[in-house]
Amino acid sequence: MSKTDKYSIFGVNLTLVRNKMELKVIKIMTDILDNYPNHDQCPLCIEDAFALSLNRLPAKYAQFGSIVLKTEYPHDDEIYEIVADSIQQVANKPKHNR
């Protein structure tokens, strides 16, 4: 069973209903990761900081491309703070040997 088959209800493909926070976190991480030289930017640590950030943020699901009223909470600067803190935390304690 492929991922697309599992993520469907009565044949309706739900893989395009996404947590909008994912794209916000990806954009912020791309913008600021270079500011953390102690984050090694290996795939595991990037995934780890990404997952940690998303676990600390409320999920905001929406159909891909749908027009959604601007969400008031959390503010972009709060998202930024959580992502920055998550990057730092993973950099301080990577889940692998250095």
Structure tokens at 19: 């947590």
Q: Which residue in the set 21, 25, 45, 79 belongs to the binding site for Zn ion (CB under 5 A)?
A: 45
Residue 33 in contact with Zn ion, rule: CB under 5 A = no
Q: Which residues contact 41 (CB under 8 A, 6 or more apart)?
A: 33
> CA–CA separation, 73 vs 92, rounded Å?
28
Instruction: Please report how close the Cβ of residue 94 comes to Zn ion at its closest, in angstroms.
Output: 5
DSSP 95: S
Instruction: Please report how close the Cβ of residue 16 comes to Zn ion at its closest, in angstroms.
Output: 31
Q: At what angle do helices 76-92 and 43-55 cross, to 10 degrees?
A: 140
Residue 42 in contact with Zn ion, rule: CB under 5 A = yes
Q: Which residue in the set 18, 19, 74, 94 belongs to the binding site for Zn ion (CB under 5 A)?
A: 94
Residue 46 in contact with Zn ion, rule: CB under 5 A = no
Binding site for Zn ion (CB under 5 A): 40, 42, 45, 94
